[in-house]
Amino acid sequence: MTDTLLSFKDVEIVYKVGNMSIRATTGASFDVPRGAIVGLVGESGCGKTTLARAVTRVIADNAHIAHGQILFDGIDLVSLSDRDMNALRWRDIAFIPQSAMNSLDPVYTVEYQLHEVLRGRGGLSRIDARKRSKELFELVGIETNRLSDFPHQFSGGMRQRVAIALALALNPKLIIADEPVTALDVIVQRQILDQLRDLQQKLGISVILVTHDISVVAYICDRTVVMYAGQVMESSDTRAVLNEPYHPYTMGLKNAFPDIKSAGTGLLTPIEGSPPDLANPPPGCRFAPRCPFAEAICRAENPQPREIQPQHIVACHRSQEALQLRTEASKYETWQQIP
Amino acid sequence: MLKLVSNGIRSGFRSLRLPVGDPFAVAGLAIYATFLLAAIFADYIAPFDPTEILYSKDFTLAADLPPGTDGHILGTTSLGRDIFSQIVFGTRSALLVGASAAFMVALIGSIVGLLSGYFGGWVDIVLMRLADIAFGIPFLPFVIVLAAFLEPSIWNVVFAMALVLWRDTARVIRSQVLTLRSRGYVEAARVCGSSDLKIIWRHITPNILPLSFLYGSIAIGWAILTEASISFLGFGDPEAISWGYMLQDAFASQALSRQAYYWFVPPGVAIILVVSAGFFISRGYEAILFPKLDR
Amino acid sequence: MTQFKAAGGRFLQLLLVLWAVITILFLLFRLMPGSPMAAYIDPTFTVEQQQALMAQFGLDKPLWSQYLSYLGNLLQGEMGQSFRYKTPVSDRIWALLPNTLILTFTSLIIAYAFGILAGAYLAWRRGSMVEKLSLPAVLTTRAMPEFWLGMVLLAIFSFWLGWFPAGGTRTPGTDYTGFWDLYTSGDFIAHLTLPAATLAIYSQGLPLLLMRSNMLDVMKEDFVTMARVKGLSNWTVVVRHAARNALLPVMTSFAISVGYQLQGNVVVETVFSWPGLGRELVTAVAASDYPLAQGAFLMIAVVVILMNLIADLLYTFLDPRVSHA
C-alpha cells in the first residue's frame, strides 16, 4: 500500500492566445507516491511541463487551471489562496529547472541566492544559512569555496548541481525537475541522475521528472506517466510501461529512443507525422491519426483511461489486444504504413 | 468588397515593409502625409507671403496682431508677418532638411556598416576607429562651428549630420551584418563561389534595409531638431523661413515676456508633430524588426 | 584582472580619439575661408600692425608649426588668449565649467531618478491604460526642441507667474564671497530651477524607455520565474531581481547622457542666459572669438569622450559576467 503525496485529478489547463483557447492538458490524472520518482514523458508540446509547473501555480500569464484538482498531502493546490500557496512554495515544493544558467540570477553570487531562500523563506539566521549552504554544497559535491562564485563561473554540470542544492535547501517533500539533464552531455547526465537518485532516496523526497527522453525515464524513474497531446496515455511502474506497454504510443516511443542500458542494437523507428493542433484536436483518440492500429472507433471516440492491471492505467480502445499489438509494433514496417 | 480593397492596400504596404500594423505608425504616416501636402501646396494654403511685411487697412504696420484679426489665423509677428503662413512655409525647409539628412545618414551609415561588417579585418578596424572619433565629436557644437564658417544655408545641417551622425547607424548595421554573415544561406552562397558584391546585394542588403529605414526615420527627427536649434541660435539661413527661425524671431522680439503664445507655441507644436511622427513610425519598424517585443 | 587590461586598452583608444578630435578642431578653425582675425583687424591698421597682431597670436607661422605649438600648449593646459576679452581662454573655461556641470548633473540625476522609477512602474503595469497614455507622452517629450520647452517654461513660470527668475545664475547686485557660498544659496537654486527642469523633462525619456524595455525583457527571464517559484516576495522578485538586472544598461546610459546633455546645454543655456560652456561657445562663435570658441568646443568634447569611456568601464565593472570572467 503506497502512500500518495501528490495526486492530479482530471486537470485541465487552458492557454488563451488571441481569442483562441488552447487546452494544453485535458483530463490529466495520475499519482505521485511518497518517496518515488515519477517520470512524466512525452514529445515537446505535449503539456508535460505545463502540468508539472501547475503544481507550483507559477504558470504563464495567459494560462489558467480551468478544471480539476491537484491534491498535495490532501490539500487542493488549485483552490488554495495565493498566500497559502506561497507558503508551500520551496518549503514543500521545490523546482529544478532545465537550464540552471538562465534560472540563476547572473548578478548575484550563488551563496546570495542560497541565502535568499534559506533566510527569506526558511527563516534561518545568517550564521545558520552559511552553515547550511556549505552543507548543501558538500551534499551535491561542490567545493564550498565556490559558494562566492557567480553562476557564469560554473560549468553546465556544476550549475545543475547548484540548482539541485538550491532545490534541497529547505528539505522539500516534492521536487519538480523539468528536463534537468537535457542540456548536458551524456556522461554528465548520468552523474547528475545518479546523484539525484541518491539524494532522493537518502532524504525520502518525491520527484516529478519531466523529460522527453524515455531512456532517462528507464534509468531513474520508479513510475512513468506517458503523455500525448495534453492527455495521459498510459501510467504505471516504469518496468511495466517499458516492458509491457499497452498503449501503441508508448510502444512507438520506446522504438524511437536508443536503450540507455543495451547500447543501441536495434533500429530506431520514428513515429511518422506530428502531434495534433491543440486548438483544434481530432474528435476521437488524439493519437489515432499517427497510430498504425487505429480503427473506426478510435477516430470517433476518445478512449477513457482504464485500470488494465493494478496501478496500470491506459487510455486505448484496443488495450485488450496489447499482446498482439506489441509484436506488430516491434516491426519496423508497422510504423511505415500509417495512412 | 471594401474589405478586399483595404486588404489589397494593406498587403501593398506590407511589400514596401511599411509598418501599417501598428496604430502609432499609421498616425505617424498620416502626420507625414499632412505635412508633405502642406509643403507641396504651401503657395495655395498660406494666405500671405511669409516674408512680406503687412499693413492694416489704415496703413499702420500689422504688428503683433492677436490670432483671428484681419484674417491672420495665428496673428502676426512684431514685424507684421503672418505667423500661419510662416508655419506653412516652414514645413518646406523642415521636410527638406529632415528627408535629405535622414537619407544621407542612413546611406552612409549603411554602407560603412556593410563594408565594416562584411569584410572585417583592417577595413573594419579603420572604419570603426573613425566611428569612435565621430562619437567623440560633440554634434551640436560641431554644427554651430560649421554653420558659422560656411555660407548660411539649411544644407549646413545636412552636411554636418552626414559628417557625424552616420556613426550610430553604422555600428548597428555592422553588428547586424555580422550575424547575417554567419547565417547558413550566406555561408552557402559563399561556398558556392558567389562574388562578394552579389552576396552583399542579394543576401545582406535586403535584410538590413528595415534597420536602415528605422535609423533613417529617427534621423529625420534629429535633423529637424538640429536645424531648429541652429536657426534659433542665429546660425541659420535668414532667407529661408523655418520653424527654428520663427522661434528665434519670437525669442528676440520679447514674445515671451509679452505672453505672445500664439507666436512661439505653434512652431514648437509643428516640430513636435513631425519629429514624433518619425518616432512613431520607427516604433512600427521596431515591431517588425524585433517581434519579440510584441509592442 | 582582465577588466583592468581592457580598461587600459580603452584608455589608449580614448587618447587616440582625443587627439583626432583636437586635430579636426584645429583644421576646422585654420582651413576655413577667411582670416581668423578678420573680425578683429581694424581696416585702418597698417600692414605692419596687422602682421604684428598676427604674430602675437602665432598666425604668421606655417600651419604645421602652428599645429605643433597648439598641441604643445594644450598639453600644458594653455588654450591661448581670447580675442574679445584679451584674457587666457583657460581661465574663462574653468570659470564656466562648474555652471555647466551643475546644470547637467542636477537635471540628469532628477531625470534618471524619475525615469528609472517610472520605467519600472510602466513595465510592471504593462498593457494598462496608464501605460497606453504614458508612452506617447514620453515620446512627445523626446520630440520637443529643448530650447522651445525652455521658452514655454520661461513664459509661464517666470514672465507670467513670476515664480522664478528669467535668467543668469544670480540676481544682479547680490554678492557672494566664495564658491560654495554661491552654489548653495537659495538665489542660485531659484535660478537653476527652470533650466534644470527643462533639461530634466527632455532627458527623462531615455532612462524611462530603456528601463521599461529592459524590465519587460528581464521579466521574461527564467530566473525571474524561478524567483516566483521560490515563493519570494513580490518586492524581491521585481526589485532585487528584475529591476537590478534591468538597471545595468540604464546606468551605463547615464554617462552617455551626460555627453549628449552637454550638447543640448548649448541651446538651453542660451535661452536662460546661463553662463556656461555652451552659451560661451555660441557667443564666441558669433563674435568670431576663435580661441575661446575652440577652447569651449574642446572642453565639451573632452567631457563627451570621457563619458563614453566611463560608460564602457561602468558596464565592465557593474556586470559580474564581465568583471568576473
Q: What is the pLDDT of residue C42?
A: 61
Q: Which residue of A has its CA nearest to C225?
A: A58
Q: Of the given ranges (A2-6, A212-216, B5-9, C51-55), which has the lowest mean pLDDT? A: B5-9
Task: Tell me which chain B residues have a C-beta less than 8 angstroms from the C-beta of C136.
Answer: 24, 276, 280
The model's pTM is 0.80
Residue A201 burial by Cβ neighbours in a 10 Å radius (0-12, 13-18, 19+): exposed
- Across the range B66-94, mean pLDDT stands at 73
- Across the range C29-48, mean pLDDT stands at 63
Q: Is the Cβ pair B141, C140 closer than 8 Å?
A: no
Q: What is the pLDDT of residue B36?
A: 85
Q: Is the Cβ pair C222, A106 closer than 8 Å?
A: no
Q: What is the pLDDT of residue C113?
A: 94
Interface check for A180 against chain C (CB to CB < 8 A): the answer is: no
pLDDT band at A258 (very low <50, low <70, confident <90, very high): low
Q: How far is B279 from chain C (nearest CA, A)?
A: 7
DSSP-derived pairing of the beta strands A4-17 and A306-309: unpaired
Interface check for C12 against chain B (CB to CB < 8 A): the answer is: no
- What is the ipTM for the molecules in this complex? 0.84
Q: How far apart are CA A15 and CA A10, in angstroms?
A: 17
C321: nearest CB among A106, A121, A149? A106
Phi/psi of residue A195, nearest 5 degrees: -65, -40
Q: How far apart are CA B227 and CA B237, in angstroms?
A: 10
**Cα radius of gyration rounded to whole Å, chain C:** 24
Give the helix/strand (H/E) hosting B185.
Answer: helix B184-191
Cα→Cα distances A296→A26, A302, A318, Å: 22, 11, 11
Interface check for C127 against chain A (CB to CB < 8 A): the answer is: no
DSSP state of C128: S
Q: Is the Cβ pair C231, A90 closer than 8 Å?
A: yes
pLDDT band at B66 (very low <50, low <70, confident <90, very high): confident
pLDDT band at B292 (very low <50, low <70, confident <90, very high): very low
pLDDT digits (tens, 9 = 90+) for B228-248: 888 888 888 877 788 888 888
Q: What is the pLDDT of residue C109?
A: 94
Interface check for B141 against chain C (CB to CB < 8 A): the answer is: yes
Q: Of the given ranges (A172-181, B53-62, C9-18, C261-270), which has the lowest mean pLDDT? A: B53-62
Residues 6+ apart with CB under 8 A from B189: B198, B199, B202, B203
Other C-beta atoms within 10 Å of A196: how many? Answer: 25
- Across the range C117-122, mean pLDDT stands at 90
Other C-beta atoms within 10 Å of B25: how many? Answer: 24
Interface check for C154 against chain B (CB to CB < 8 A): the answer is: yes
Question: Percent of chain A at pLDDT above 90?
Answer: 27
Q: What is the pLDDT of residue A175?
A: 92
Interface check for A105 against chain C (CB to CB < 8 A): the answer is: yes
A 80-99 near C (Cβ less than 8 A)? 86-91, 95, 97, 99
Q: What is the pLDDT of residue B247?
A: 80
Between A338 and B111, residue with greater pLDDT: B111
Query: CB–CB of A298/A284 below 8 Å?
Result: yes
Mean per-residue pLDDT over chain C, rounded: 81
Mean per-residue pLDDT over chain A, rounded: 87
Q: Is the Cβ pair C21, B137 closer than 8 Å?
A: yes
Q: Taking 60 as the threshold, does the pLDDT of residue C139 lie above it?
A: yes
DSSP-derived pairing of the beta strands A93-96 and A174-178: parallel
pLDDT band at B291 (very low <50, low <70, confident <90, very high): very low
Q: Look up cell 496608464; give the residue.
A: C130
Task: Tell me which chain C residues have a C-beta less than 8 angstroms from the C-beta of B252.
Answer: none
B 143-202 near C (Cβ less than 8 A)? 144-146, 148-149
Interface check for C231 against chain A (CB to CB < 8 A): the answer is: yes
Q: How far apart are CA C299 and CA C83, in angstroms?
A: 18
Interface check for C301 against chain B (CB to CB < 8 A): the answer is: yes
Question: Percent of chain B at pLDDT above 90?
Answer: 1
Query: CB–CB of A143/A121 below 8 Å?
Result: no
Q: Is the Cβ pair A121, C230 closer than 8 Å?
A: yes
Mean per-residue pLDDT over chain B, rounded: 77
Q: Is the Cβ pair A152, C226 closer than 8 Å?
A: no
Task: Tell me which chain C residues have a C-beta less than 8 angstroms from the C-beta of A99.
Answer: 222
Q: How does B106-133 read in b/e, with b if 16+ C-beta sit within 10 Å?
A: bebbbbbbbbbbbeeeeebeebbebbbb
B141: nearest CB among C140, C145, C263? C263
Q: Is the Cβ pair B133, C24 closer than 8 Å?
A: yes
Residues 6+ apart with CB under 8 A from B254: none
Query: CB–CB of A179/A98 below 8 Å?
Result: yes
Q: Which residue of C has its CA nearest to B268?
A: C148
Whether B and C touch, i.e. at least 3 CB pairs below 8 A, reads as yes
Cα→Cα distances C166→B38, C169, C194, Å: 36, 10, 8
pLDDT band at A315 (very low <50, low <70, confident <90, very high): very high
Residues 6+ apart with CB under 8 A from C62: none
The total number of residues shown for chain C amounts to: 325
Q: Is the Cβ pair B138, C263 closer than 8 Å?
A: yes
Q: Taking 70 as the threshold, does the pLDDT of residue C230 lie above it?
A: yes
pLDDT digits (tens, 9 = 90+) for B145-188: 888 878 778 788 888 888 888 888 888 888 888 888 777 777 77
Q: How far apart are CA C316 and CA B84, in angstroms?
A: 53
Q: Taking 60 as the threshold, does the pLDDT of residue B294 lie above it?
A: no
Q: Is the Cβ pair A89, C229 closer than 8 Å?
A: yes
Interface check for C132 against chain A (CB to CB < 8 A): the answer is: no
Q: What is the pLDDT of residue C117?
A: 92
Report helix, strand or coil for A68.
strand
Q: Which residue of B has its CA nearest to C218?
A: B293
Q: What is the pLDDT of residue B165?
A: 86
Angle subtended at Cα B44 by Cα B243 and Cα B252, rounded to the nearest 5 degrees: 25
Q: How far is A122 from chain C (nearest CA, A)?
A: 11
Q: What is the pLDDT of residue A37?
A: 93
Interface check for A303 against chain C (CB to CB < 8 A): the answer is: no
Q: Is the Cβ pair C223, A120 closer than 8 Å?
A: no
Hey, CA dihedral for A119, A122, A128, A133, is it positive or negative? negative
Q: What is the pLDDT of residue B133?
A: 87
Q: Of the given ranges (A76-90, A257-271, A294-308), which has the lowest mean pLDDT? A: A257-271
B144: nearest CB among C24, C213, C266? C266
